Copies of this chain bind each other. A is one copy, B any other.
Amino acid sequence: MDPSQVKIPELKNLTIENITENVIKINSNNPSPRFKYILERLVTHLHDFARETRLSTSEWMAGIQFLTATGQICTDVRQEFILLSDILGLSLLIDSIDHPKPPSSTEGTVLGPFHTHDANDLPHGDNMSHDPAGEPLLVLCTVKDVSGAPIPGAKIDIWETDSSGKYDVQHADRAEPDGRCVMRSDTDGNFWFKAIVPVPYPIPNDGPVGQLLQRLQRHCWRPSHMHFMFEKPGYDHLITALYLRGDPYETSDAVFGVKESLIIDLGVVGKEEIEKYGVKEGTKLLKYDFVLVGEEESKKLREERSKEALEKLGRRVKIVEGLPVPDVD
């Protein structure tokens, strides 16, 4: 790039006091108001963090090495940065911000690092977990809109661990997807399948995130749960999970995902279910009615809450498509 073409402030003699405004200035040459705003807040917080902690060179280097190790342990089936975001509460926060829920709808929660895109499409009633050591579970669900009308043809991703607390991708010898499936709701908004009773499990703790938890004297356990993700044009994407009541980690989830409305009591199948779904007597039963929010309602809510939040923060921004950008008027 020809330096004579570079329209930037003179950057020299930068100090603790003036470096932030200058970095923000040079980052503001890009054409996207949204990216400009994100970079402005990122640089401000990064620098304020260093100024408030008087971060030392050796602490900075420890941070560089931690982030490098976090990136390097990632593979196609392991996402340590999502895990880091999860244990710092960022993931839950982002979901809460981006997917506001009116009171009558199903709350969202953390996606976690174990969703994959290779799960098999299963017909209703099929078995999504082939772990013979798992405790059999029948799952009967509906998906409706906030008015109570069934939503047919929603794509539902479902995933859980095996009875040892491991997702399929955590087994080195994984030949094909298991403990996960994709279903579509029927015309009445129903979907049902066989699975196993979820168990508590430790998040992967043999990497940088595990070391951080150890240093923080935090445990690495998640309470028993099953993940659900709903997609259907016209509705806000729902990433959620159902948690078993009474789990020993119910109030100390390592990734902060548990919400009262997502805690369920397992029942036991009755005669009707045994006959209708071909399950054995004593099989545990999970029933839940999911409620999706319409895309328009969700958009409106996102916009309203953004406006409200940014006004409270006293920031001079305007809201465009639900997201703040600098107010240059």
Contacts and interface: CB of A to CB of B under 8 A. Distances in A.
Interface of A: 1, 3-4, 6, 8, 10-16, 19-20, 22-23, 26-27, 29-31, 35, 37-39, 41-43, 45-57, 59-60, 64, 67-72, 74, 79, 81-82, 85, 88-99, 215-219, 221, 237, 248-253, 256, 258-260, 302, 306, 309-310, 313, 315, 322-324
B43 A88 contact: yes
A215 B34 CA distance: 13
Contacts of A41: 49, 52-53
Contacts of A67: 67, 70-71, 81
B53 A324 contact: yes
B99 A82 contact: no
Nearest to A251: B10
A46 B90 contact: yes
A79 B64 CA distance: 9
A52 B92 contact: no
B38 A53 contact: yes
The 6 A-B pairs of least Cβ separation, nearest first, read A71-B71, A23-B89, A45-B45, A1-B219, A10-B251, A3-B248
A13 B96 contact: no
Contacts of A217: 29-31
B27 A93 contact: no
B42 A49 contact: yes
Given A43-B88, A46-B88, A54-B98, 16 more contacts: A1-B219, A3-B252, A6-B252, A10-B251, A10-B252, A11-B256, A11-B258, A12-B250, A12-B258, A13-B258, A19-B89, A19-B256, A38-B55, A54-B324, A60-B98, A67-B70
A93 B251 contact: no
A39 B41 CA distance: 19
A72 B76 CA distance: 12
Contacts of A50: 90, 93-94, 97
